[in-house]
Chain A
Amino acid sequence: MALVELNHVTKSFGDQTVLADLSLAVPEGSIYGFVGENGAGKTTTMKLILGLLQRDAGSITFAGNPVHYGRAAAASGIGYLPDVPEFYSELTPTEYLRLCGQLTGIPHRELGGRITAMLETVGLPNNRRRIRGFSRGMKQRLGVAQALLARPRLLIADEPTSALDPVGRREFLDLLASLRGTTTILFSSHILDDVARICDQVGILHAGRLQVQGPLAQLLAAHGQAQVALGFETPAAARQAAAALGVAARESATLLIPAPQGETAALRPVLAALLAQDLVPVRVSPVRPSLEDLFMEVTQ
């Protein structure tokens, strides 16, 4: 069942249309990678789901209930991690989380224990140090802590990895992946590696519409074209082989053969033709379609 559903949603700012007829469904329990170029409307979509923006048309439901502008997302079970979370630099993380917990209505006797546990989960020290001196990575951790404090059913994370260094990014992705099964995650990014690493569902936003969505493996199988790479000893041999097979020659000593029916079916006639002309490939390797190929295909 879909936890979040958007149907034919449109949104413009002034005369600039950001979302034109966007339909999207996030299945419960999934880690949904929401992919698109900068400015494609990912943040707008997320803010619509959060009730921070008013849509022009269409419907949005969360757990079957319609989403309204101005209602508290946390109350219905959504946690939000903004792209660059900003906090009050005079407070300590504990004080900030206490503020969040009180606003969400977490019972007083539970709050202290939950904050301690949450700081441990995200790897922040529980001391009197104020947020003022925090690095980007530490702010991101605090951002995760405030988003998860109320144990939401859905975590919305807006480009959470784009500002992090490689180590911080890996740790952050591991943290998100560890939530699999307990929290549904809607995760926007233009870093395709990150999405491919942890997401099981993908939606690609382009020109105000969702171009494709579904399980990553299925999408890749359906859209991306499988190929086989043949490596020859010299570029000259590769050029001869290209001429013999009638495929496009390349600068390097490698040829790419389309394999729409699988590698075996593609290789059998190719190898026969090559051997007939005494051309022997020294390397044969299948090329799996990547999310990047899929992204380029649907956004071209």
Chain B
Amino acid sequence: MTATWIFLRKEALTHWRRGRFLLIGLVFLLFAIESPLMARLTPELLKSMGGSGIHITLPTPTSVDSWTQFYKNIDQLGIFLFAIVWSGAIAAEVRRGTLVPLVTKGLPRYAVVLAKFALAACTWLVTLLASFGLTWAYTAYYFKDALTPHVWAGLWPLALYGLMIIAITLLGSALAKSSFAGFLAVAASVVVMGLGDMWRPLRRFNPLSLTTNALPWVRGTKTLASVAPAFALTVAITAGCLALAIVALNRRRL
């Protein structure tokens, strides 16, 4: 565990100096400001674009629109940003040979996987929480309604889903030589989950349900318990991917 901690500090320092945290932080800050603002401005924008001839009636924007925008941003862009940034995390180290001196000095290969996961997971949770907090503040400021009583309910499933995506990224990166492998693994998983989503009986188990149900949870029309199996499966996939990534890296020729 000491080795994992030592390697984690190296990871944090190199990511910091590469400007990765700044990039992710800025993107998530943008989401937080943009989501409520877009919800508020969309009707005005449409109205101005419609011209004088056509008369459009639009419903007044509510906090539901703000949160819809937020979850769409994180789910469809934010998570993929993590998959892109960590896509080559392990593959690049193996290809360049940077692990060789450290492994001969006693760095266990599992520590590489665990440290990389820990850093990505912490970054994900911190930026997600910060972005969420800011969105919440703006939403409360713009929309003084009571349509979204359970704001926290959508966050935890998304946080867990993100951890699974990170684990899949690392597994892809541990298996293949290409720097795109991690991202491709995520893309393939999302396609598979998307196909699975079309079959209704499977939805309770599908990790994708952790993101598609965010709004019903926030509005209180559905309970988290409805997808309990999906929670369990997501935890299992996350742990499984990490374990497989360790096995894969153990077998890689350095």
> With the chains together, A130 CA to B104 CA distance in Å?
23
Known contacts A52-B254, A90-B17, A91-B14: does B97 contact A82 (CB below 8 Å)? Answer: yes
What is the size, in residues, of chain A's interface with B at 8 Å between Cβ atoms?
Answer: 32
Q: A95 within 8 Å of B by Cβ?
A: yes
- Tell me the smallest distance from the CB of B1 to a CB of chain A, in Å: 13
What is the size, in residues, of chain B's interface with A at 8 Å between Cβ atoms?
Answer: 22
Inside 8 A of A75's CB, which chain B residues have their CB? 106
Known contacts A75-B106, A105-B106, A150-B105: does B14 contact A87 (CB below 8 Å)? Answer: no
Q: Which residue of B10, B102, B253 contacts A53 across the interface (Cβ within 8 Å)?
A: B253
In the complex, which residues 88-108 of chain A have their Cβ closer than 8 Å to any Cβ of chain B? 88, 90-91, 95, 99-100, 102-105
Q: Is there an interface contact between A78 and B13, defined as CB atoms closer than 8 Å?
A: no
In the complex, which residues 112-168 of chain A have their Cβ closer than 8 Å to any Cβ of chain B? 130, 143, 146-147, 150
In the complex, which residues 86-123 of chain B have their Cβ closer than 8 Å to any Cβ of chain A? 96-98, 100-107
Q: Is there an interface contact between B98 and A88, defined as CB atoms closer than 8 Å?
A: yes
19 contacts between A and B (CB under 8 A): A52-B100, A52-B103, A52-B104, A52-B253, A72-B103, A72-B104, A72-B106, A75-B106, A78-B104, A82-B100, A100-B105, A102-B6, A103-B6, A103-B105, A103-B106, A104-B106, A143-B101, A146-B101, A146-B105
Q: B55 within 8 Å of A by Cβ?
A: no
Q: Is there an interface contact between A99 and B102, defined as CB atoms closer than 8 Å?
A: yes
Q: A176 within 8 Å of B by Cβ?
A: no
Q: A80 within 8 Å of B by Cβ?
A: yes
> With the chains together, A88 CA to B97 CA distance in Å?
10
Inside 8 A of B97's CB, which chain A residues have their CB? 82, 84-86
- Tell me the smallest distance from the CB of A267 to a CB of chain B, in Å: 54
> With the chains together, A179 CA to B159 CA distance in Å?
54
In the complex, which residues 41-60 of chain B have their Cβ closer than 8 Å to any Cβ of chain A? none
Q: Is there an interface contact between B14 and A90, defined as CB atoms closer than 8 Å?
A: yes
Q: What would 12 more interface pairs be, CB under 8 Å, given A74-B104, A80-B104, A103-B105?
A: A51-B104, A72-B104, A72-B107, A75-B106, A86-B96, A87-B98, A88-B14, A90-B13, A95-B13, A103-B106, A130-B17, A147-B101
Q: Is there an interface contact between B14 and A72, defined as CB atoms closer than 8 Å?
A: no
Q: Is there an interface contact between B253 and A103, defined as CB atoms closer than 8 Å?
A: no
Q: Is there an interface contact between A80 and B13, defined as CB atoms closer than 8 Å?
A: no
Q: Is there an interface contact between B105 and A104, defined as CB atoms closer than 8 Å?
A: yes
Q: Is there an interface contact between A91 and B10, defined as CB atoms closer than 8 Å?
A: yes
The listed residue with most B CB atoms (<10 A of its CB), out of A70, A80, A102, is A102
Residue in chain A with minimal CB distance to B101: A146
In the complex, which residues 189-205 of chain A have their Cβ closer than 8 Å to any Cβ of chain B? none
Inside 8 A of A74's CB, which chain B residues have their CB? 104-106
Q: Which residue of A70, A73, A86, A147 contacts B98 across the interface (Cβ within 8 Å)?
A: A86
